[in-house]
Each structure stands twice: as C-alpha cells, then as structure tokens.
Amino acid sequence: MKLDLAIINGIVYVDGNFREVDIGIKDEKFAVICEKGLLPEAEKTIDATGKYVIPGGIDTHVHFRDPGHTDRGTFYTESQAAVAGGTTTILEHPISSPPQYNKEILDNRKKVAKERQGVVDYAFYAAAGGQYPEEITKVAKEGIVAFKTFLHEAPEGRDDEFIGLTMANDYEVYIGMKEVAKTGLLLASHAENNDLIQGFIDHYRKEGKVTPEYHCLSRPPISEYSTVQKMLLFAKETGCRLELVHISTPEAMEMAKQAKLEGQEVFLETCPHYLLLTEEELLKHGPFAKCNPPLRSQETVDKIWDYVIDGTVDFIGSDHGPFLIEEKENGNKDIFVAPAGFIGIDLRLPLMLNEVAKGKRGLTLEKVVELCSTNPAKIFDIYPKKGTIQPGSDGDLVIFDMNDKFTVDRNKNYSGSKEIARVYDGKELHCKLNYTILRGKVVMEDGLVDPEKDGTKGWGELVLRNEK
Ligand SMILES: [Zn+2]
C-alpha cells in the first residue's frame, strides 16, 4: 500500500494522550498509526519533528451570511479563514436570509455551500422557531446536527435574518422545545432576557447614554442567568436536550453544572472572548468590541475559567459573526445601533493554545483538544468520522509549534469581514499553526491558504450527523 500522506516524528494526540507516533493517510482517511519509522511509502511526507499533531478543530458556532449577505463573506472566504485557524469542520448557525427552518431553505443553503467551493467541511444547524413548529420534526431528518433558536423578536432592520428562528415568548419556547424533544436533537438557545435588556436600553437612550460602555450596562449578568435558569427548567419539563451557547457568567455556568449533576442533558459553550477579554475593550474599540452577551468584568472572566477547567464547559465556539465596517461604524454615535458580534473563526484554536503556552490558567493541550474538537464531535454526533485520530476516521489534522510565535494581523485575515477584526489585532501568540489538513489534503501551510494554487478549491464537504 502506498500512502497519500505521511506525518512523521510528531507528538500526536491519540486516545486522550500525546504520543510520538507516525500517521499515514490514504483515500482521505487515517490508515495507519504506528511507532516511528514503520510507515509504508507515501506520495507526500511532512516531518513534524518537535511539533504537536491534533485532530482538526470543530467550531461549534459560526455564522456565514451566504446567501443573503455575501458582502460580509461567503462560504468560500470564511472557509479559508476557518482552515487558517486550524478548524476543519464548522457547525453553521442559521442567521442567514432566510434561516433554514425548513427542508427547502436548508437544501438551498447546502447547494450554495457546495457551489462556493470552500475548503472546510461543514454541518448545519436548523432554525427552530415559534412561527413554524410543524417544520421541526421534518427538518430534523435532513442530517442537521442541532437546532438553534433566539428568544426575542428580530433586531431592528434584520427581520429577514430571523424568520422562523425565534421563540418570542414562553409559550413558544414550551411548544418549540416539545417539538425539538421529539427529534432527540439539541436545541441551542441564545440565553438573554429580552424584557430586561429592552428596558435598560430604553432607559439609557432616554438619558442620552449611548456610548460603548452602556452596551455592557444594558445587559448585566442577570440578563443571562435569569434566562439560563428558565431554559433549564423548560428543558427539564419538556425533555428537550439543551445547548447553552456563548455563556459568559459564572452564575449561569453554576446553574448548568448543577443541572448536569442532576442528570439533565445540558451542554455548555463559551467563546474565547469571554475567557480572554473584558469590558475595557468597549472603551478601546467601541462597536468593534460589541457582542451579545457583552464582554464582562475581569472578576467574571477569572471565575468562568474554573468552569472550563472543571469540565462544566463542554466546548469552545468562536461565534464568528461577519459584518461590514460600515455596519459596525453605525455604532460610533449610538452603540445600540451597531450589530453585535465579530469574527474569530481563525483564532479560536490559536488563542486557546496561547493560554496553554502562558500556563497561568491550568489549561492543558489535552483539554484544548477536548474543547475544540473531540467533545464537539461526540456531542453533535459526527464522531468518530470527526474529532479523533484513529484508523477509519477522516484525515483531519492540525500541526503546530509551541516554540514559535505569530502576530495577529487583520490584513492577512481571509474573512470577507476582516476590516472589523480589531480586538485581537496586533496580539502576539506563543504558538504557530504550521499545517491544517482536511481529509488528507493540506489546505493551510505556514498560514497561507491558497485553494487555486493548491488544487483544494471545493474540497470542503457537507457533514451529516450519524444515522441512528
Ligand atoms: Zn451566534
């Protein structure tokens, strides 16, 4: 047998530990994992001496606005940003125009994704809303990995992106969760208390308080954990498996932890920005640091790390949110007008590796692999195709060097919305990604993603969850 690709001399994550083994890939899949020096011949060999080799990253939370808002980026541009950052599979949340709440819209998004010829593998969430609950069990049969909902009406001027995606009152939440429970899939919920937030925004606006810090003040921690408490209760009552996305407060994490201990099926996501940035960023970057929920205090940031280390947090998503610079700049005069979110698909893994390099939080490389790859694969039911290095699994890998550095530069970002990438710009990271390999093909080498030259254009494929 001649291998397509061999990775030799690396320190490889296998079965939960790092070991010095060689890896052979054939026909897109891992074929051989063996002691050093024993691989058969290969078409191409990468010498990973002194470097780590881990399963490709799985980003549990990205928004691609394609079709609908291709000016913010397409499946092609954003896929390049993904693999630049060591992500080989993305799970796409449905804020697009329109969101995929039925088979027809989902089929169209699958078609668009294929036509764009991206370089990352992708799976879809479907939208679950109060408007079309009858679609929930039908669209569940289409290989989606989970459902997503919002608990509020569409934000000003963004109606087309939220059709069929919101459970706008408690009755809709109850009915929607009952429907999702029938499918056995996860329901991901944005967890913020809209009544509280609208009240605060109206109050601050009346007083003319519309500078960036009021974004944080209008969404205090209780606006998150009061909703998390409600969603846990409704999920328990309806038997719905719950995914709490981008959780930013220790109070909410503690509630989820207790629910888990009682046996409830609840899964918790946080994002690098809630672990690494504070509300101070709003003063520096204004609308470019606006996200929902907002960045929190240093004290809050320090506390949520405990829940990462103790295993309450199941996975890290980027909440990659492309927007145009003009859209963000609208918030310079009134922070409440700017869209919430920023891009980060390219930095999710590097930022977490950098925390390992700094060594202050007790984070290990093994834990990063669990949070960024293995846990998502298992929880979203695409394991062992994804999220592991073992014979028969897709040949998805990241090779990186913990003894090298790189500096974040937004001008080198591949995203269609690179202009809004401010919060990490110029930051030096104490790790460097050398290669991203998707199903046996090198899609990123030394930071460069060039599908035309590499012949990898269109290599990204749709991933469906395991058949039960
Ligand atoms: Zn999101």
**Residue limits of CATH 2.30.40.10 in the chain:** 3-53+394-454
Predicted local confidence at residue 250, as pLDDT: 98
On whether the CB atoms of residues 214 and 284 are closer than 8 A, the answer is no
- CA of residue 40 to ligand 1 center, whole Å: 44
In the numeric block, which tokens belong to residue 444?
């990123």
On whether the CB atoms of residues 312 and 257 are closer than 8 A, the answer is yes
Predicted local confidence at residue 148, as pLDDT: 96
- Mean pLDDT throughout 161-171? 88
Q: Using 50, 70 and 90 to split pLDDT, how confident is the model at 162?
A: confident
Is residue 461 predicted with pLDDT exceeding 90? yes
- CA of residue 38 to ligand 1 center, whole Å: 45
- CA of residue 25 to ligand 1 center, whole Å: 34
- CA of residue 130 to ligand 1 center, whole Å: 19
- CA of residue 260 to ligand 1 center, whole Å: 23
- CA of residue 62 to ligand 1 center, whole Å: 6
Instruction: Give, in order, the Cα–Cα distances in Å from 235 to each of 28, 61, 173, 186.
Output: 39, 21, 9, 10
How would you write 381-396 as a 3-class SS string?
A: CCCCCCCCCCCCCECC
Predicted local confidence at residue 65, as pLDDT: 84
Give the span between the Cα atoms of 169 and 130, in whole angstroms: 8
- CA of residue 350 to ligand 1 center, whole Å: 20
- CA of residue 306 to ligand 1 center, whole Å: 23
- CA of residue 319 to ligand 1 center, whole Å: 5
- Mean pLDDT throughout 427-451? 97
What residues contact residue 198 under an 8 Å CB cut-off, 6+ apart?
none
Q: Cα 330 from chain centroid?
A: 26
Fold of 59-379: TIM Barrel (3.20.20)
Give the span between the Cα atoms of 23 and 28, in whole angstroms: 13
Give the span between the Cα atoms of 127 and 345, in whole angstroms: 21
Q: Cα 116 from chain centroid?
A: 20
Give the span between the Cα atoms of 11 and 33, in whole angstroms: 12
| Residue that the structure tokens 């290969």 belong to | 42
- CA of residue 63 to ligand 1 center, whole Å: 6
Predicted local confidence at residue 25, as pLDDT: 98
Cα 132–133–139 angle (5° rounding)?
A: 90
Q: Name the pairing type of β-strands 241-244 and 432-438.
A: unpaired
Predicted local confidence at residue 163, as pLDDT: 83
**Residue limits of CATH 3.20.20.140 in the chain:** 59-379
At 207-257, the pLDDT tens digits run 999 999 999 999 999 999 999 999 999 999 999 999 999 999 999 999 999
- CA of residue 329 to ligand 1 center, whole Å: 20
Report the share of the chain in percent with pLDDT over 70: 100
- CA of residue 315 to ligand 1 center, whole Å: 14
Predicted local confidence at residue 66, as pLDDT: 81
- CA of residue 321 to ligand 1 center, whole Å: 7
Q: What string of DSSP letters covers 329-389? A: HGGGT-GGGSPP----TTTHHHHHHHHHHHT-S---HHHHHIIIIIHHHHHTT-TTTSS--
Predicted local confidence at residue 264, as pLDDT: 98
Nearest Cα to Cα of residue 396 among 346, 337, 338, 444: 444
- CA of residue 93 to ligand 1 center, whole Å: 7
- CA of residue 435 to ligand 1 center, whole Å: 27
Predicted local confidence at residue 155, as pLDDT: 73
Is residue 96 predicted with pLDDT exceeding 80? no
- Mean pLDDT throughout 154-178? 87
Q: So what's the architecture of 3-53+394-454 in CATH?
A: Roll (2.30)
Give the span between the Cα atoms of 445 and 439, in whole angstroms: 15
- CA of residue 465 to ligand 1 center, whole Å: 21
Mean of the per-residue pLDDT values for the chain?
A: 96
At 369-408, the pLDDT tens digits run 999 999 999 999 999 999 999 999 999 999 999 999 999 9
- CA of residue 43 to ligand 1 center, whole Å: 41
- CA of residue 240 to ligand 1 center, whole Å: 20
- CA of residue 99 to ligand 1 center, whole Å: 13
- Mean pLDDT throughout 173-181? 97
- CA of residue 12 to ligand 1 center, whole Å: 32
At 20-60, the pLDDT tens digits run 999 999 999 999 999 999 999 999 999 999 999 999 999 99
At 286-304, the pLDDT tens digits run 999 999 999 999 999 999 9
Report the share of the chain in percent with pLDDT over 90: 92
Q: Cα 467 from chain centroid?
A: 23
Predicted local confidence at residue 67, as pLDDT: 83
Give the span between the Cα atoms of 63 and 158, in whole angstroms: 14
